[in-house]
Amino acid sequence: MAMTPRERWLALLAGRAPDRIPTDYWATPEFHERFKKDLACPNDESLWRQLDIDRPLVLFPTPRPSPHPDDPDADVWGLRFRAMDYGTGVYQEVAHHPLARAESAADVHAFRWPQPEDFDIAPILHATEANRSYRPVVACCYEPFLLYAQMRGLEQAFMDLVLNPDIADAALGHLFDIHYEVHRQVFTACPGQIDITYVAEDLGSQTGPLISQEAYRRFLLPNQRKMADLARAHGIHVFYHTDGAARMFIPDLLDVVGIDVLNPIQWRCPGMDRESLVRDFGRRVAFHGAMDNQYTLPFGTVDEVAAEVRENLAIFANARWICAPCHNIQAVSPTANIVAMYDTIKEAAS
């Protein structure tokens, strides 16, 4: 008898053999809407079922619909966004950095930070109940430096790690305290119903690390460990996302944070080749992603996509792998290529 998506994921995470390789799906809104239309799927669930995608139910606490008290045009973090059209789609980019002019930790503390009660967790409770364990449930995400960089400005946020550590400590401390309490409330309110949580930070660029190992250990690692410990205390697996060439950080992620899943495996980046990742870390972590979406999925042929799936099946044969794009599928990707990715997984199991 075939496993449900949740059974498939949990078997893999527990080190047992699922009935086939689990799959996942990440895509931009532009591709996703076109993909559903091309496959005549009226909604997301019909798409997952048509292609046998083991897509988790992904749930986040939502800020209550009220503007920032000091800026009626900003969200609860004081951020304003504007749509940036890149030709085949649109991204919402930050247009205002509320901490850009902070000159001291006192300025950071004086900012009107949101409170845990400003986030609504009721939809998560309702969704986990409605799911009734058919799909794995992912709830909450902790990615503080990304949010700090939005609030401070990307360039200044990186410079703060060297020039203004007191400002970085103050802001990252507030972000940790808020997220920790919201996550604690979610995990406590949904006992046994949440399988996975996201802990994330992009540590790698296309060519190398974005920050030093020293800076990572100083500013990010301790609180990532605390968030992971909170999840484990509730029986929840830790899924870690970092783009790019992030190999240098993997030992800390395993030994200190204690992650269960590593995503997205951008294997064209230096140090991220799949064979050495399996050799060095394959017994300790499950790999998620590894389907290249910089060449293969958007610009390759159907045969090249199928060949990459089979290549991954061989490379990860003695490890644990969840087949998925190594980031959001872009709007230029042909429908046939994405269908081929999932069809090849099913063919391999038959």
Is 0.85 topped by the overall pTM? yes
- Position 274 scores a pLDDT of 98
Residue 59 and residue 115 in contact, taking contact as beta carbons nearer than 8 Å: no
- Position 4 scores a pLDDT of 97
- Position 66 scores a pLDDT of 77
What is the CATH code of the structural domain delimited by 58-64+103-260? 3.20.20.210
Q: How far apart are CA 242 and CA 163, in angstroms?
A: 25
Q: Mean pLDDT in each 10-residue stretch from start to end of the chain (350 residues)?
A: 95 96 97 98 98 97 88 95 89 95 98 96 93 94 98 98 98 98 98 97 97 98 98 98 98 98 97 98 98 97 98 97 96 97 93
- Return phi, psi of residue 142, to 5°: -115, 105
Neighbouring CB atoms inside 10 A of 236's CB total 25
Where does CATH 3.20.20.210 sit in the chain? Answer: 58-64+103-260
- Position 20 scores a pLDDT of 96
- Position 88 scores a pLDDT of 85
